[in-house]
Structure 1
Amino acid sequence: MSEARLPTLFIPHGGGPCFFMEPPRGMPDPWKSLGDHLRGIGATIGQQPRAVLVVSGHWEESQPTVTAAAAPPLIYDYYGFPPHTYQLRYPAPGAPRLAAEIRLRLDQAGIPSTGDDIRGFDHGVFIPFLLIYPDANIPIVQLSLLASLDPAAHLAVGRALQPLRDEGVLIVGSGLSFHNLRGFFTEDPRIAADAESFDQWLTQAVTDPDPARREAALTAWAMAPGARTSHPREEHLLPLMVAAGAAGEDAGTLTYRDHIFGKAVSSYRFG
């Protein structure tokens, strides 16, 4: 058993290998503040987790699926970046026993699941964790999203996994609070305004002290102002639902907020 219950997190994992690239000469690094935030997360946890469970916005299956390999490889699922970004290494071990425990917890909650003995960690895992725990000495299991993209189902998955927090497992949703790739790189003020509106709504929903109201709001996220501008497809928002479901009665707090390419981006912690 761990010394104390671990929090759950929702982190923005940036764009591709963004933290490991130089900005154009004479230009400020748009990812610096987010990189600094990720580098500081480990110190805020208060103890080293026994293992980390990560839900990334880059893996979807028909039912929850966990990586079950002892030494998962890396999946360089980004395209057109400099050669050195395909040489990044993050040899964190897997955790087959934890994978089995996750599946047991889901089964006990009536949620069918499966394991994957081959799949490795996508960039929604290894890129941010190169900054969070750079020594790569903490076992990691990755959990897929559901291809249904149903927010209530992802909240339910999180609720089923909540007890792991008392067993030294850090549960992390890795996505982006704003994920509109075309919108990121446009100067259209309407998109920036929608991003601002959605970010303010999302922070209010996450930090609602009533867990039932929080879950109701997150389930209906698509009705929020600026929602579909911020997430034309919601796969990068759904990791937040798993983190919020695993939060239980614990309150959510805003831990990071900045503007990247003029668009509001936030990070959250529960507990």
Structure 2
Amino acid sequence: MHSSRFPVYFLSHGGGPWPWIAQMQDMYATTAREFAALPQRLPARPTAILVVSGHWEADAFTVSTAVQPPMEYDYHGFPEHTYHIRYPAPGAPALAARVRELLSGAAIATREDAQRGYDHGVFVPLHLMYPQAEVPVVMLSMKSNYDPAEHLRVGRALAPLRDEGVLIVGSGLTYHNMRGFGRDESTPVAAAFEAWLDGAISQPDPRVRDAMLLDWERGPGARQAHPREDHLVPLLVVAGAAGEDTGRALFVDHVMKVPMASYEFGGARQARA
């Protein structure tokens, strides 16, 4: 990897606003520790962060352009204080324009949204990585058709950002079946699918990796792990941006009886499994 080129990440962000809930902090202790350590793996502090969250989709790829993005409390049934969380990182309109320029150059239509705020797929990992909220953030939506090829193509178009000081993060979960969390029978399903994903992202030939991800539904337990693939699609964008770089598990946490894996592509240091 070029010494100044940023790695790209797929992060399993966990359930709701867990860092702000005492009863959930112990469950996610590994995730909290690893997210907090992630900036040390980068070649420098990023000039900005581009996040594709499993909590934002639109009928066209949409880029957030707010100078000071608001908050999106897109969860239900949590304590009142979690609806007052603030993550005051600024937006980055110049990066938003660059994202649209790169996607336009690849003949990918985009829109912009000046009102979109930070959902918990954004503010949970970033709060742990950069608690001072000093790094500007832009969000890119998924396209609601979830087409794997389109999302890989978006990632490929965005790859130049890695040489421009931008950290690209896909935020989702390797298992996201709301009816399955906490159930014993979910453990082998989630483990089998995560093992398959790990095998796909760690393929040394990126063409093999991408072909496997394009056909992700053939993975063991795929549709049981992802009845809707909203939390998997960000991985496709990340894999596209990874280009020739091989992926590896950054870490795997085990919460609510399922593994939750986070992946790194192109890191300069050996990751811990």
**Is 1:11 paired with 2:8?**
no
Offset at 1:212?
Answer: 0.3
Q: Which amino acid aligns with 1:53?
A: L
- Decide whether the 8 Å contact of 2:3 with 2:43 is kept in 1: no
Give a deviation string over 1:90-132, Cα, whole Å, max 9, x none. 1100011110110010000010001111111111101111101
Aligned counterparts, 1:129-168, within 5 A: 129-168=126-165
Farther off after superposition, 249-258 or 135-144 = 249-258
Q: Which amino acid aligns with 2:261?
A: S
Aligned counterparts, 1:6-155, within 5 A: 6-23=6-23, 29-155=26-152
Q: Aligned Cα RMSD in Å?
A: 1.4
* d(CA) in 1 for partners of 2:170, 2:116: 18
Match of 1:253, SS? strand
Structure 1 length-normalised TM: 0.95
Give a deviation string over 1:210-250, Cα, whole Å, max 9, x none. 00000000000011101111111100001011010000111
Q: 2:199 — aligned with what?
A: 204
Report the number of matched residues: 265
- Decide whether the 8 Å contact of 1:19 with 1:32 is kept in 2: no
Aligned counterparts, 1:170-189, within 5 A: 170-188=167-185
- Decide whether the 8 Å contact of 2:28 with 2:253 is kept in 1: no
Structure 2: gaps (5+ residues): 267-273
Offset at 1:3?
Answer: 6.7
**Is 1:230 paired with 2:221?**
no
* d(CA) in 2 for partners of 1:50, 1:63: 26
- Find the partner of 2:246 among 251, 259, 271: 251
Structure 2 length-normalised TM: 0.94
* d(CA) in 2 for partners of 1:77, 1:264: 23
Structure 1: gaps (5+ residues): none
Q: Which runs of 4+ in 1 moved over 4 A?
A: none
- Decide whether the 8 Å contact of 2:66 with 2:114 is kept in 1: yes
Seq. identity, %: 50
Match of 1:58, SS? coil
* d(CA) in 2 for partners of 1:167, 1:193: 41
* d(CA) in 1 for partners of 2:61, 2:88: 24
Offset at 1:38?
Answer: 1.1
